[in-house]
Amino acid sequence: MTRSTQAVTYRRPSALESAAGARRLGLETSRGATPAGPQDHPQFFAGFLTAPQVASAGLLAVADVAAARYYQQQLRASIDPVVTGSGDRLRFESFSGCGGVYARLDVLSEGLDGDDIRHGTTNVDVNIPLRQALSRIGSDDPLHLRVGPDALAVTTLDGPVVEKKVPLPDRWLRGFAEAQVTAAGFELRAELTASEAVRFLRSLPRSAGRGPRWVVPAGRTLRPTTRAVPGAVCLPGPERLVALQRVLRHATALRVYGPVVSSDAAVAGAWEAVLPGMRLTLTLSPDAARGFSGEGGVLEALATDQAAEDAELISVLLAWEPRVDLADLAASSGLPVDRVRAALVRLGTSGRVGYDTAEAAYFHRELPYEAGRVERHNPRLRDARALLGAGAVAWDGKLGTVTAEDGHVHRVREDGGTLSCTCVWWATYRGGRGPCKHALAVRMVRRGAAAPGTSGTSAAVVVEGVR
């Protein structure tokens, strides 16, 4: 697995302190992106939380996911959450070390009382002493929140700093991107009252069973079902919803999102706890042993030169909006909506947009990691471009063949816009985890994305067109 070490530096540890009859929560920030460019330790907000105990529980839930591995639990995981200031809200995001659970706490404007919320994204320090202090917050405790250094810390350029060095696998980064792409295909499937949500979640098993679990709306609650009937939602690895236990007693509702299902194959889903002035969302990959990084949802967008050019244009028009309007971007850019959507998917691969299932909309943020790593290290995309570069793709408009490095010839067939292949990957996943490298190479040739030094008409991938 390709990985690097991410150095995250804070001026001091985040802490919960008492002063002048109120508690003060100082969340320290690392180097991040802002409208003015990269900035060390930006400040996004200073003011009060209207529901201190709820916000504390939500932050702890996000930190729980950041520190967790729900698969191969003996391995350590600890990557600091990401915070984004969006003008009208603060978003705290994390991703599990196993790459299968994405968590986000949205603290909305009604949950905040203070200065204007500035724009930008960076890591935020959530250390063990802070977690212990947050767990003791009472319902009547006034809580002042500061995201970023205070004025004194800003003027103190010298002195000790807190530096963390954590492994940052490419698989983890790809998963962060894939989770957004997957969520964009979800629809609201059920909404439970607070009491029904507590009853349902407490009835779930504490350990994973065999095969995917399914639930279906039944009146005011959800009932288990053995198959993917219309309206059903997949619940893969129900033990991965444990972070919701942090906020259950504060929740006013539980919303469940998922894609349209057409087979019993496991799919992802999102579970949102509606809280006073905020929302906590957990998005689960299709299987506890299968993270988001292999889902292949971004490959189609990455494979086109057109999407790359469109993404450059759209990136200039993004302005840290909490809700990206596709129609407005289309009007501003002069691009059709489908190309704007593809460009946003591509921007998601470098962490520049996320997706909010509650509002069914993308939002602008800039993950504090190296842009472009996801694309460069996506193995299927890399292999597809290698096939093109080696002259292994021939295409005559109707027929072709793909000759792999080992000499095997793979046939690719088009059926209803989907490319199937005779390779083992396709036989195993049937397109459920995105295109194989052979089908991806064919798609690139058909779109004119041939590698430098090759022509779109020389090759060895054969596509049998079905009309």
Name the pairing type of β-strands 462-465 and 409-415: parallel
Residue ranges of alpha helices (H) inside 360-436 are 373-376, 379-389, 424-429
Q: What is the pLDDT of residue 455?
A: 38
Q: Looking at this protein, which amino acid is placed at residue 2?
A: T
C-beta separation of 96 from 75 below 8 A: no
Lowest mean pLDDT among 192-196, 253-257, 310-314: 310-314
Residues 257 and 303 in one domain: no
Rounded CA-CA distance 359/381 in Å is 31
Q: Which of 326, 357, 374 is the C-terminal boundary of a domain? A: 374
Residues 393 and 431 in one domain: yes
Q: How far apart are the first and last CA of the chain?
A: 41
Residues 334 and 416 in one domain: no
Residues 202 and 158 in one domain: no
Among 187-201, 207-221, 278-292, which range has the highest average pLDDT?
187-201
Name the pairing type of β-strands 214-218 and 221-225: antiparallel
- Is residue 156 pLDDT above 60, yes or no? no
Residues 218 and 358 in one domain: no
Domain containing residue 241: CATH number: 3.10.150
pLDDT tens-digit readout, 327-343: 999 999 999 998 898 88
C-beta separation of 442 from 391 below 8 A: no
Residues 341 and 314 in one domain: yes
**How long is the chain?**
467
pTM: 0.82
Residues 137 and 268 in one domain: no
Rounded CA-CA distance 269/222 in Å is 14
Residues 273 and 328 in one domain: no
Q: What is the pLDDT of residue 412?
A: 84
Q: Which of 356, 156, 462 is nearest to 348 (CA)?
A: 356
The mean of the pLDDT values for the chain is 83
Residues 30 and 147 in one domain: yes
Average pLDDT over residues 217-246: 91
Quick one: tokens of 204?
Answer: 């779930």
**How many domains does one find in the chain?**
4
Give the Cα-Cα-Cα angle 180, 186, 189 (nearest 5 degrees).
145
- Is residue 38 pLDDT above 60, yes or no? yes
pLDDT tens-digit readout, 387-424: 888 888 877 666 657 888 778 888 888 766 677 888 88
Rounded CA-CA distance 303/290 in Å is 23
Residues 193 and 150 in one domain: no
φ/ψ of residue 327, rounded to 5: -65, -40
C-beta separation of 354 from 363 below 8 A: yes
Q: Which of 249, 273, 292 is the C-terminal boundary of a domain? A: 292
Domain span at residue 190? Answer: 176-292
Q: Which of 129, 146, 169 is the C-terminal boundary of a domain? A: 169
DSSP letter for 109, please: G
Which residue do the tokens 């959530």 mark?
126
Lowest mean pLDDT among 177-191, 272-286, 306-320, 418-432: 418-432
Residues 67 and 126 in one domain: yes
Which residue do the tokens 């962060």 mark?
176
Map residue 152 onto helix, strand or coil: helix
Could you tell me what percent of the chain has a pLDDT over 90? 44
Average pLDDT over residues 83-89: 95
Domain containing residue 306: CATH number: 1.10.10.10
Residues 86 and 102 in one domain: yes
